[in-house]
Amino acid sequence: MSRFYRATIRERRAFGKLIWLELEAPELAAHLRPGQALLVRPADMQSADPLLRATIFHAGSNAKQGTITFLLSDGEEFQQAWLLQYAYPSSTLDIYGPVGRGFELDPRTGNLLLVGEGPGLAALVALTQQAVARRISVVLLAAASHSDYQIPAFLLPPDVEYQFTTGPLSELLEPLAGSKKQPLFSSNAPIVWADQACVSLDPLSLQDFVQQLRAQRLRWTPGFAFALIAEQLACGSGACFGCMLETRNGWQLRCKDGPIFDLKRLA
């Protein structure tokens, strides 16, 4: 159930144009799952502008230490720059959440493919921690418009195979051994290798990923690929109906039925 929390920022670091924040939030860290949204604003903010809270997907949590981490960008493309003006050590954030459903790993999954860009990429970083703890082999493919937005490899568990590009993600979905002349259904292709895939992509990249799925897998069944629709949420409770999404199961709310959806139900 969503509720309001106060979280104190313990540490702030900059990696290129990415800002890493560690927050002290014991109650929230105890039950927060990768992919769930948090609606955030500074606790001492007097102005009502901007009206909407920032929609954040956390990059990790530690229930024992009572901490959660954010990976935010100072670039306007992520619509998080305004929040960073107030996000410094010892300052307090007012958080509503967690909102929606998080990623769920199939107990049978041995190989996990993660593909992401934009603000939802942080949720995939959080998911790597959960997957590695379950001894799942993980490949993370990430893209950004500039190398300044690259997530440093040392923020990931050491067992994760991590590849980054400033070009199209489709290049990384080719067989990992390198040659495009290899058979289409090569077991070295990440989509063929994976038992489960979780992605967070913009609409065009998501369409491209679906095409890759159809081209590279002989069979694609529900439960294999899941997509995080990482867009701004307004109320976070389903009251405003501002986050409706058309699926094969009819119209659904990203804040209630999502923001994680079976990609088979969207394609």
pLDDT of residue 187: 55
Longest alpha-carbon distance in the chain: 60
Walk me through the domains of the chain, giving residue ranges and CATH numbers.
Answer: 3-99 (2.40.30.10), 111-266 (3.40.50.80)
Does the predicted model carry a pTM greater than 0.75? yes
At residue 262, what is the residue type? D
Are the C-beta atoms of residues 101 and 258 closer than 8 Å to each other?
yes
- Which pLDDT belongs to residue 183? 42
* pLDDT at position 162: 96
Identify the CA nearest to 142 among candidates 211, 220, 79, 59. Answer: 59
Taking only the tens place, the pLDDT of each residue in 145-189 is: 899 999 999 999 999 999 999 988 877 886 543 444 444 444 568
Residue 1: the pLDDT is 63
Q: What is the DSSP string of 4-63?
A: EEEEEEEEEEEETTEEEEEEE-HHHHTT--TT-EEEEEETT-----S-SPEEEE-SEEET
Q: How far apart are CA 119 and CA 141, in angstroms?
A: 14
Which tens digits make up the pLDDT trace of 230-261? 999 999 999 999 999 999 989 999 999 999 99
Show the low-confidence residues of the chain (pLDDT under 50): 176-186
pLDDT at 256: 93
**What is the pLDDT at residue 79?**
63
